[in-house]
């Protein structure tokens, strides 16, 4: 089953976020063969989760704190996310890694906290343009993956989805080619095979993210080892997000 997720980032306001959720809820019914999630800003999760309750659309946070609770001004805990109806959390997004300096070690601690709290995790990895040009793509995404999954038991891999998001493709309008995406996904799959029993590694979903829109999603979703997509800009309007869902190949 393909997994299509919308990362709203720091966009929308209360009214437009609720309108978007309502439109998705109303029009998403046709495709029972696709898993769908949205990642609203923290402050809207509670209401969005309520408005999507009973629908097939899952809700997640865009980040969480590695600590359980306490004096961490400005942070949001994994338990708080669950408390307001989030089932997922996005961790290791490149904007967190690069704009806010999140290290592999911090991301690993967040993964542990999120899983320990009962959340499902979408763990993002991706290389910068300089790293790709230096032919370090595999080294970079391989070590991000291994570090992020350190300590994650095979049984918990059911609650993990991975997203390959080349930094140079995020928000730029330049998506990876299907060949670039499937090459990276196959490499990540190989890393998983080295870490987990074959069946577990084979079942893990690896989403592609970076300038996905309705016009390129179908092709990307047909690429080898691409099990879904993580959508930023094109998830902010119901028509473009639904266009991606409607255009997804039937498996």
- Could you list the active site residues? 93, 165
Q: Is 84 in the site for ligand PGA (CB under 6 A)?
A: no
Q: Which stretch binds ligand PGA (CB under 6 A): 69-77, 153-161, 163-171, 191-199?
A: 163-171
Q: Is 207 in the site for ligand PGA (CB under 6 A)?
A: no
Q: Is 233 in the site for ligand PGA (CB under 6 A)?
A: yes
Q: Out of 209, 216, 225, 240, name the contact with ligand PGA by CB under 6 A.
A: 209
CA atoms within 13 A on the CB side of 90: 31
Q: Out of 2, 4, 7, 176, name the contact with ligand PGA by CB under 6 A.
A: 7
Q: Which stretch binds ligand PGA (CB under 6 A): 109-117, 135-143, 190-198, 231-239?
A: 231-239
Smallest separation, CB 24 to ligand PGA (Å)? 16
Q: Out of 181, 230, 242, 245, name the contact with ligand PGA by CB under 6 A.
A: 230
**Alpha-carbon separation of residue 226 from 16, 116, 146, 152, 154 (angstroms):** 31, 27, 19, 22, 21
Q: Which stretch binds ligand PGA (CB under 6 A): 52-60, 187-195, 205-213, 217-225?
A: 205-213
Cβ atoms of residues 149 and 195 within 8 Å:
yes
Q: What is the DSSP letter of 156?
A: G
Non-local CB neighbours of 36 within 8 Å, separated by 6+ positions? 3, 4, 5, 24, 28, 56, 57, 58, 245
**Alpha-carbon separation of residue 165 from 4, 42, 93 (angstroms):** 14, 22, 8
3-class state of residue 243 by DSSP: helix
Binding site for ligand PGA (CB under 6 A): 7, 165, 170-171, 209-212, 230-234
């Amino acid at each position: 089953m393909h997994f299509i997720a919308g990362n709203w980032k720091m966009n929308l306001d209360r009214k437009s976020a609720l309108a978007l959720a309502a439109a998705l809820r109303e029009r998403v019914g046709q495709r029972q063969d696709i898993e769908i999630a949205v990642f609203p800003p923290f402050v809207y999760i509670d209401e969005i989760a309520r408005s999507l309750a009973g629908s097939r659309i899952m809700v997640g946070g865009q980040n969480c704190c590695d600590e359980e609770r306490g004096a961490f001004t400005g942070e949001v805990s994994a338990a708080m996310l669950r408390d307001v109806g989030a089932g997922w959390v996005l961790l290791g997004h490149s904007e967190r890694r690069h704009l806010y300096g999140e290290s592999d070690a911090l991301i690993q601690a967040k993964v542990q906290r999120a899983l320990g709290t009962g959340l499902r995790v979408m763990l993002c990895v991706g290389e910068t343009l300089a790293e790709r040009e230096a032919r370090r793509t595999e080294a970079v995404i391989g070590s991000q993956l291994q570090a992020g999954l350190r300590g994650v038991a095979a049984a918990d891999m059911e609650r993990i989805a991975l997203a390959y998001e080349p930094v140079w493709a995020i928000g730029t309008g330049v998506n990876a080619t299907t060949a670039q995406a499937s090459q990276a996904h196959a490499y990540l799959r190989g890393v998983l095979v080295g870490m987990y029993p074959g069946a577990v590694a084979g079942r893990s979903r690896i989403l592609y993210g970076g300038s996905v829109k309705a016009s390129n999603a179908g092709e990307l979703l047909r690429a080898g080892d691409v099990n879904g997509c993580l959508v930023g800009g094109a998830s902010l309007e119901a028509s473009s997000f639904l266009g991606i869902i409607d255009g997804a190949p039937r498996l």
